Amino acid sequence: MKKAILIIQTVFVTVGMLLVAGALGAAAFVYAGVYDVAATKHHTGLTYHLLHYAMLRSVKTRADDIKPPPLNAPDRFRSGLALYAGHCVQCHGAPGVSPEPFAFGLRPAPVNLVEPGRNWTPSQIYWIVKHGVKMTAMPGWQYRLTEEELWDLVAFVKRLPALSPVEYKTLEAAAAQPHRKAAARIGGQPDGDPKAGLHAVYQYLCVTCHAIPGTVEGSPNVGPPLGSVATRRYLGGVLLNTPDNMVRWLMNPQAIDPRSAMPDLHVREQDARDIAAYLYSLDKSR
């Protein structure tokens, strides 16, 4: 019995030492700057395949329970085509259409969507389009497109493999008109969700200019820190600080003060309410 316990202890000690050695080795590898992060160099084969497999498994795990709506309506396809031409073809290209020059310098390279359109499920494509992929140039469109528009894009991508270059160009020309867009309205109190607001401050790049408690994007100081914004009398120095005005300011600061350096980030109303709810939640005295 004592011998068995001794063997188990030895195994645990050995495994622990290996883990510590591995962690120290990884830390030394990172600190020494051994890995070349230049986008002009490809990932190693092992790195690429490991990241790609991790991405596939992550998407499958999170998308399998998503139930797609009917995708065969002609209006949905036409809307998806217009959205694809406006937002996606620049990186992914299309039948007979090359990506824009900047896309050639992205690593990993943006994939041709014929293969995902042919082999991925609608739910998996939807998840990728909505949430994007970390450590790639693929953005998440959750805060830029409505749910209907996300599924419109899915409907188009699923039919993309069957399109010839001539068909694509003909359909694109016919669909070159403003696509469906959710109307924004102003009014009421920001009855938003602070948790959603925390996600939204990343999606709208608020964290690249403002120091915001609860975020992990460093300590930018381009704009004022927002930890105490709820206690300030004015927003941007010109607008009385109320929850409703906070929503107005977030949605279009340039319309309120053209001299402001804060750009119009095309924040949707619900996202503005969520962000306002999060910023107000930072002041525990309210």
- DSSP notation for 206-232: GGGTS--TT--S----SS---TTGGG-
List, for residues 165-208, the tens digit of each pLDDT value: 999 888 888 766 444 443 334 444 568 899 999 999 999 999 99
The model carries a pTM of: 0.70
Element at 54 (helix H, strand E): helix 45-63
- Which pLDDT belongs to residue 284? 56
Q: Which domains does the chain have, with CATH numbers?
A: 70-175 (1.10.760.10), 194-281 (2.60.40.420)
How big is the CA angle at 71 (ends 69 and 77), to the nearest 5 degrees?
140
Give the residue-averaged pLDDT of 77-83: 91
- Which pLDDT belongs to residue 159? 94
List, for residues 223-274, the tens digit of each pLDDT value: 889 988 888 888 888 888 888 889 999 999 998 888 888 999 999 999 999 9
